[in-house]
Each structure stands twice: as C-alpha cells, then as structure tokens.
Amino acid sequence: MSKSFSGTKANYDTHDKELLAIIKALEEWRIFLEATNKPVQVFTNHHNLKYWMQARTFNRRHARWRVFLSDFNFEIHYRPGKQSGKPDALSRRSNYVDIPLEPEVMLPAEVFANTSEEEVEIVTEICSKLREDPSLEPIIKFLTKDADNAPPTIRKAYQDYDWEEDLLWYRGKLVVPDSEPIKERLMREFHNSPLAGHPGQQRTLELVSRTYWWPGMKSSAKEWVECCPVCQANQQAHAPVIALKPLEVPPFPFHTISYDFITGFPKSNGPQRNPSEGTAKGLADLFVSHVWKLHGLPIRTISDRGTTFTGKFLRALYQRLGIKPLFSSAYHPESDGQTERVNQFIKFYLRSYVTADHLDWSTWLPLAEYAYNNAKHASTGKTPFELVYGKNLVMNPSNVPSNVPEADQLADTLANEWKEAKSALRMSKEKMVRDKGTIPTYSIGKKVWLNGKNVELRTNSNKLDPKRLGPFEVLEKISSHAYCLKLPETLKIHNVFYVGLLSKVHESPSQPFPERPPPETIEGKKNTRWNRSLTPRGNKESGST
C-alpha cells in the first residue's frame, strides 16, 4: 500500500510521520494482524522507532496511538534504507529525474533599496570626497599626523573624532563631507525610499543620524522634508488659525440680510409651503412676503453659492432692484456665519418641541421666529425686537401698569437703541479681529496648495486621494481672505478660495515636482464653475466674506 500526507499530517515531525505509516498499515490489514499469537515483524528505516514504546513523555496524539497499537502484537526492527528496496519502490517514481530549480524572485527590487551594496557605494563615495572638504582638512591632519604633538586644546577639540579605514568618524558615526550630491543621496535613501516611507523631519533625522553625521544635518533634514513634493501633497492639511474678518456694521436695520435653506425635513402635517420655494422664483416670493412688505428693500444680501442664489433669475432681479449680492467663498461656510448660527438655533428649537413622528415641525416655525427675535444677542447686547421696535414685545400678560410713551420718546428710544447696537457691534468686531490668528499673504504668480478635503475626485478610493491639490498659480488677490487660483479644466469648481484652505508651497531644485495628470472632479458633485461676476467688485474686502 502507498499513501500521501495531507492537511495537518504534512506538518508532523519525521518521527511521527514514520510511526503514522506503521499505524496506517496496521489499520489496512487489521483483520489479519490483530491479536496474533506470534508477533508481527515491522521493518523501518527510522532507527528511533525501536524505542517508541519506551518513551516516558508523549502528547495526546501519541496517547491515542498507544491505545490503538495495544490491540496488536508486533515488534519493530530497524533496517537501513539501502536494504529496503521493496518498500522504497512504492514511494519513488521509476522515471524520476533530479531537475534543478530555476531561480525565482521572491521579493521585488524595491525592497532592496537600503541593502549593504547601496551603502558600500555611498561609503566609497564619501571616502573619495573626504580630503576634498577644506573644513575637514585640519581634523584629518590632526588624526593622521600631529595627534601626539598637538597642544591640549586641539586634542580636546578633536577628541570625539577618529580616523579608521581611511574614513572619518564622529562619536561612532561616519562623517559626511560637504558634498550636496552625497547628502541628497542619503536623504533620498532615508526619506523617499519605500523602506523609509516618507517620515517627518524628526524621524528622517533619526534614521540618517544612526549611521552618518555632518554639521547642520538637522537643517538639511528639515529642508528636505519641507520641500518633498510627495509629503506636501499627501500629509494631513492642518488649517491655519486665520484672523477673523467680520462683516461691516450696517448703518440701519435691514440694510443687509442673509438667507439660506434648511433641507431634509419630512412632509409636514401643518401649514404647507409652496414647492416652488426651493427655486429662485420661490425665493423671490418669500422675500416679498416676509422681508420687503415689512422692512423695505435691502441694500445688500449674503448667501452661500447654491444654484438657487446664483442663478440668472435672481441675478437679473438683483440688478433691476439695485441690490448688491455677496456670496461666501468656496468651501468656507463661515463666511455666512450669521445665517449658519440662525439655522442651528431653528433646528435645535424644532428638535425640542416636535412630536415623535416629526410631522408637525412647520407649526412651530412662527414660535421659533418669535423666540429668536426675543432673545438678547451677545454681539449687540439687544434683542432684535428692541432694535426694530424700540422695545421688547410682551411675552406673557402682566398686571404691572405701564405708561404709554409719546411718539417722540419712541423715536428717541429707537435711535438710542440702534446707536448702542452699532457701538456694541463695532466692539465685538474689533474683539474678533484682535483675539486670534494672523492672515497669510500670497503673491500673484506664486503657487499654493489647496486643501482637498472638500473636493470629490474621480479616483478609485477617496481614502487614498492626496490631502492637498496642486500646486496652483495665484491669479488674483480678491481680498485679504480670498484668492483666485488658476485651476485645470478638469477641476470643475469655483476658483476663488478662502485663505484658510491655502498653504505655502516649498520648492527645491533637488526635488522637482513630478508631472502628473490634473485632478478630475466627479460629474454632478459640486462641480459648477461659478461666474466671477457674481462677486461684487465695488468693495473687494467685503466681497470675500
């Protein structure tokens, strides 16, 4: 009989494999070999099996085999392999030819980027350049010729240096001469190679300093990592702390209004809104019903860059009415921060009072508006009711009598309230500007990185997309907080960006930027290229907010 090992049996050691062969043979011929009067003679070429029954330590598998073998009367005899021709014939092919194995590549060539052969080449190059460095000449001369006759001060200054095998060592590390090609080669090996993995400044310095040393090595590592194109594009983009740029204080109520849509609500069982309100015409109807008829025509509006607000209809209407629209910069909703705060309040209010099925949310909107207008604002120190009507409206019936003010007193009250509010707004504005951040500046014609967190690219995995896009050329400085960039045609997004999304490009002749295909946005995903004419040109500073 002949059998092959399979599964876990192939992992048995040689002793157990030889013993398993005996067990399988006894299982196959059990009806003939079990409980015989004379012992069955078993021959094997594994000498240690003769003493298997005398073992004092064994595992559970051996214990099971002992129980099975106890039913047989057998003796194990050792016979060398040369004398076991018949059994070997069952496990050996008659036409077997010993064919040498062809060499096989087990690891890619990139893995061997930091092998000893590479290091030997660098060491040879260092050895040839050492004596050409004039800054190292006195040290080498001292170590090779004048060490015994040098004064104590010189010996103390050079005590950390050694000269061995025609190489200069500093505290056990190989000294690199002042040769930019050698330094660049070392930096590529310990930063750019796959085994290094583009580490940061400290880790790159640590990797190089394990073996090599030269004066200013820390600065070299810092400059190399800063100018690395791969690191600049793929490292996490940390948004800088930008000084705030508050909106201008309006001269009178409803001089400037801001608006936005809150979406995602279910169909309400309360008062229904017109489905056209999500369009530009619907927005105009809302404007007439809720703003114009009560407060007149505003001078300026603030909104995001949604298509409803930037469409041809509203643009033509604004031009006809003399309204100056301002839009937030791309991917920077903080430009319209006032509206965002109001939206947060409305959603919080509705979450607090709607029923479990959320279907009565529209019935709470009038009360939410009243609650917001009746609350004192930190920036003005007044409620909206006080600024518009000169007093707070009655919230609950009161038994306390009050005198009705005269008309001139009411007018004076309104003027004083608005004057105080303007002063409070100016103080709040000054505090916002003073409290934090600086504003980086970029020159026209220079290149900058663009934070790519908000841009959906046409790639296989957004997890592996670069953190920064570019670098892109600066075409125009719109304001202190907004810049216009030169984008490729494949990147279909608005080309004016908030300064906090931009970062400086570090360039070095030793690390040129690789040529890559331009990034491409996904069709239908925030890919409208906005018309630059939407941003007012009369006041560039305010046009970027």
* SS3 category, 303: strand
Residue 489 has φ and ψ, to the nearest 5°, of -65, -25
Q: With left for phi above 0 and alpha for psi between -120 and 50, is residue 165 left, alpha or beta?
A: left
Q: CA-CA-CA-CA torsion for 192, 196, 198, 203, nearest 10 degrees?
A: -120
Name the DSSP letter for residue 242: B
Distance, in Å, from the CA atom of 199 to the CA atom of 204, rounded to the nearest integer, reads 6
CA distance 110 to 490: 33
- pLDDT bin (cut points 50, 70, 90) of residue 412 is low
Q: Each residue of 364-385: pLDDT tens digit? A: 888 888 777 877 777 777 788 8
35: helix, coil or strand?
coil
- Ramachandran assignment for 470, one of left (phi > 0), alpha (psi -120 to 50 degrees), beta (any other): left
pLDDT at 543: 36
> Does the pLDDT of residue 100 top 80, yes or no?
no
Q: In 411-420, which positions are buried (b, 16+ CB within 10 angstroms) versus exposed (e)?
A: eeebeebbee
Q: In sequence order, what are the residues at sequence separation of 6 or more whose Cβ sits closer than 8 angstroms to the Cβ of residue 246?
A: 428, 429, 432, 433
| Domains of the chain, CATH where assigned | 7-91 (no CATH), 110-226 (1.10.340.70), 447-543 (no CATH)
Mean pLDDT of 225-253: 74
Structure-block tokens of residue 35: 């409980």
For 447, phi and psi rounded to 5 degrees?
-110, 145
Radius of gyration of the chain (CA): 42
Least reliable range by pLDDT among 65-79, 264-278, 346-360: 264-278
Task: Provide the 3-class DSSP secondary structure of residue 527.
Answer: coil
Distance CA 174, CA 177 (A): 10
What are 492-521's pLDDT values in tens digits? 788 888 888 888 888 888 888 877 777 877
Q: Is the pTM of this model over 0.75?
A: no
